[in-house]
Amino acid sequence: MADLKATFESAVANSKNLSDRPDNATLLKIYGLYKQATAGDNAEKKPGFSDMVGRAKWDAWNNFKGTSGDDAMQQYIDLIESLS
């Protein structure tokens, strides 16, 4: 578990130094996995229609509802490694 967390933190650091900027759909997936791994299931109120960015981020996080923190960390690590 400690190894997974260390690898996850390394992947978070690496995500800030990707050679190419991922497309918006990939960025939302990165965000959703990060939030699921660090905060668990989304319990926040869904933003209104006028907040399109907030709504997209909320949806991205909510798509991973029910995923364990460890699974979300591993998926995040795998995604960042595939983009590096």
pTM: 0.91
pLDDT for residue 81: 94
Confidence of residue 84 (pLDDT cuts 50, 70, 90): confident
pLDDT for residue 51: 95
Alpha-carbon dihedral angle through residues 58, 63, 65, 66, given to the nearest 10 degrees: -170
Per the structure, the complete domain to which residue 19 belongs is given by 2-83
How many whole angstroms from its chain centre is CA 10? 14
CATH code at position 33: 1.20.80.10
Count of domains in the chain?
1
Task: Give whole-number Cα distances, 29 to 1, 2, 3, 45, in Å.
Answer: 23, 24, 23, 19
- Tens digit of pLDDT for each residue in 18-70? 989 999 999 999 999 999 999 999 999 999 999 999 999 999 999 999 999 99
Residue 1 pLDDT greater than 70, yes or no = no
